[in-house]
Amino acid sequence: MLRKTALVCGAGGFIGSHLVRRLRHEGFWVRGVDLKLPEYEETEADEFVVDDLRKQETCERVVDGRFDEVYQLAADMGGAGYIFTGEHDADIIHNSSTINLNIAHGCRRRGIDRIFYSSSACIYPAHNQDDPHNPNCAESSAYPAAPDSEYGWEKLISERLFLAYNRNYAMRNRIARYHNIFGPSGTWQGGKEKAPAAICRKVAMALNGGDIEIWGDGQQTRSFLYVDECLEGTTRLMRSDFEGPVNIGSDEMVNIDQLVDLVCAIAGKRLHKRYIAGPLGVRGRNSDNRLIEQKLGWRPSQSLTAGLEKTYAWIESQLLRKAA
């Protein structure tokens, strides 16, 4: 029997590097491609191409093979400090759409008919997420569209791109809307990190009894999904008959104060919260998991605390390594 093969675009990134490892453990031969190798560990890809997917010739070269599964995760990406300041809007739209256009076109020309595309909860209308206790992120609420960032708009148009290829070129692309994925080996410093990693870092660096800075008033709500569960949902969707778009996220909603309290409890520290101005995004967001349960008979179930324990331990080890 032929060995299964996969192409992972964005294989040097957080979710991509975890996905490569998972596919290898499932027995796949994996080609990874990214601007960079994974930052915190050796790649497990059988072949890793360091190149720029904004170049059409790169895309045509990397898709040139027999691939059972293609995962398109490469994007110009970051946490609130990158996406919501407005300073990177042109790059975000230009870079990510160019990659998606090139991959969709390259795969079609090569006869590859199934691409997984990672969209985002950021596509949902901002006005449905004003109430922190009752945000609406049902898949059907995406239109009329009103995302609160250019990152969200780009994701939405790229969803439409992959769906149009399904309709016009008989492809079977799959689309997930990820909601705040976190875990070890994610960006944890430098400005592109997201809330769980930033808070783990701040707590790990603080002295017991000291202060912790929080962007906003701590009452904005979110849910966070551990990376292993994200990959479970991703591969299930990829191998299903359902094209999506579908949420892949946790529905264990917490506010940022509660997230800080959970991390402090894991660290065994008591810290005084200091609220400062910062880029915030929408007021409330939670994954609505009814559709994924209905279509795939599965929903994420691991607790937030279980994922935070592993993430905190990893970030603490990174800090110790840096200090050594």
- Residues serving a catalytic function are 151
Q: Which of 63, 70, 75, 112 binds ligand NAD (CB under 6 A)?
A: 75
Q: Which of residues 194-223 bind ligand NAD (CB under 6 A)?
A: 194
Burial class (CB in 10 A: 0-12, 13-18, 19+), 101: middle
Q: Which of 7, 70, 73, 263 binds ligand NAD (CB under 6 A)?
A: 73
Structural contact between residues 61 and 109, judged by C-beta atoms closer than 8 angstroms: no
| Distance of alpha carbon 314 from alpha carbon 130, whole angstroms | 33
Question: Taking Cα atoms as reference points, which of 142, 229, 253, 130 lies closest to residue 181?
Answer: 229
Q: Which of residues 107-136 bind ligand NAD (CB under 6 A)?
A: 118, 120
Structural contact between residues 252 and 179, judged by C-beta atoms closer than 8 angstroms: no
Q: Which of 46, 52, 243, 316 binds ligand NAD (CB under 6 A)?
A: 52
Would strands 174-178 and 115-120 be described as parallel, antiparallel, or unpaired? Answer: parallel
Q: Which of 45, 70, 77, 292 binds ligand NAD (CB under 6 A)?
A: 77
3-state secondary structure 30-48: EEEEECCCCCCCCCCCCEE
Q: Applying CB under 6 A, does 34 fall inside the site for ligand NAD? A: yes
DSSP line for 189-228: SSS---HHHHHHHHHHHSPTT-EEEEETTS--EE--EEHH
Quote the crossing angle between the two packed helices 89-110 and 150-169, to the nearest 10°: 10
Q: Applying CB under 6 A, does 48 fall inside the site for ligand NAD? A: no
**Stretch of 28-36, 82-90, 156-164, 202-210 contacting ligand NAD, by CB under 6 A:** 28-36
Residue closest to ligand NAD (Cβ): 13
Question: Closest separation between CB of residue 73 and ligand NAD, Å?
Answer: 4
Question: Closest separation between CB of residue 156 and ligand NAD, Å?
Answer: 12
Residue 160: enclosing H or E segment and its boundaries? helix 150-169
Q: Which of 43, 95, 97, 311 binds ligand NAD (CB under 6 A)?
A: 95
Residue 154-193 contact track with ligand NAD, rule CB under 6 A, x = bound: ------------------------x-xx------------
Q: Which of 4, 24, 35, 60 binds ligand NAD (CB under 6 A)?
A: 35
Residues within the interface to ligand NAD (CB under 6 A): 10, 12-16, 34-36, 52-54, 73-77, 95, 99, 118, 120, 178, 180-181, 194
